[in-house]
Amino acid sequence: MFGLGGKKETVGLDIGASSIKAVQLKKARSGYELVKLGIAPLHPDTIVDGVIMDSGTVISTIQQLFAENQIKPKDVVVAVSGHSVIVKKIKMQNMKREELLEAINIEAEQYVPYAIDDVNLDFQILGTPEADAAEMDVLLVAVKKDVINDYLSIISTAGLRTVVVDVDGFALENAMELAYEPEPDQVVALVNLGAAVMNINILMGGMSEFTRDSPLGGNRYTESIQKMLGLTYEQAENLKLGEKVDEKTYDDALPAVEMVHAELAGEIRRSFDFFRSSSHNDTIHRAILSGGSARLPGLIEYLTENLEVPFEVANPLRTIKADPKKFDPEYLEVTAPQLAVSVGLALRRAGDK
């Protein structure tokens, strides 16, 4: 998306609502290799709806993450999400890219609910329009400048340099494309269940056809458990992760968990229905679920049964080599779903378009 020049080694830095993830990959002859990996938790009030509320904590956490995991490169790729990010597939008159550069600001005013001067705009022409076609499909992306500036300032203060700013959904798309190599005629839904925001990106033949962010994330499970069982937020989070709290087990939390399962399924169904109503294709062949809550017991089965689409847990590391002497395979398997965005970011290089 918004990139600077150069081709140095980069680190995918996913600054999420509940944790910060850093991934460094190395391009090898046979694919990619995992070089460094680090995950550090954040308090749930640190970042709210993609807006950094406690910059000091984020800065110190990033510095500690890089130091403890001996991550050397200073160039990072980050992503933004939330209400400040607008992603829209639009139709425009068929024109050359140079002409589109001049016309995009005027066109964007119809779709962006902010003053154009207050956002950074980017676009991608989808496919290759026929020379005699009247229209072409364009993916429009707008992000509020103050949100990007906050991220750039924090990363700079942490002693790092931002070389690309991406969008969570696109980073997820890059990671899943490497891991799963989608077939040309397949419709695949990528659902990233973050702590505070769920990204839904539906691909047809590997190209994005529908994207949507929903303010429903893994934190909703914690809040539901907390309210139903009268626990603190930290106790509810531990119970969600399978730990025993004051003689209570995960089974005691099941009614609260299943209530959110239903809410989550309803939110995903609305997105799927909207996609089907606006697309020529009624079938979604598979759905890949990533994010920290993707491994919640019973969630994959619940979504598969209720949405009548086969869901599976994402593994963005499935085609990436990892030295078992440096990285515990069991740890990688457990943490892989929450690394999807950071892996996608780590695949980017400065100067990418």
pLDDT at 17: 87
150: Cβ contacts below 8 Å, ≥ 6 apart: 51, 52, 55
Taking residues 292-298, what's their average pLDDT?
A: 90
The model's pLDDT over 155-195, given as tens digits with 9 standing for 90+, comes to 999 999 999 999 888 899 999 999 988 788 899 999 999 88
In this predicted structure, the answer to whether residue 49 has a pLDDT above a threshold of 80 is no
Burial of 352 (0-12, 13-18, 19+ CB in 10 A): middle
User: How confident is the prediction for the chain on average, in pLDDT?
Assistant: 90
Judge whether residue 4 has pLDDT over 70. Answer: no
Structural domain spans, the chain: 2-221+256-346
Average pLDDT over every residue of 112-126: 90
pLDDT for 6 equals 47
Q: 307-339, pLDDT tens digit by residue?
A: 999 999 999 999 999 999 999 999 999 999 999
* 132-147 average pLDDT score: 89
What CATH fold (topology level) applies to the domain 2-221+256-346? Nucleotidyltransferase; domain 5 (3.30.420)
The sign of the torsion formed by the CA atoms of 96, 101, 106, 108 equals positive
pLDDT number for residue 289: 97
pLDDT band with cut points at 50, 70 and 90 for residue 142: very high
What pLDDT band is residue 130 in, cutting at 50, 70 and 90? confident
What per-residue confidence (pLDDT) applies to 5?
A: 44
Task: List beta partners, residue 23.
Answer: 12, 37
pTM for this one?
A: 0.89
Most confident of 64-68, 109-113, 138-142, 206-210: 64-68
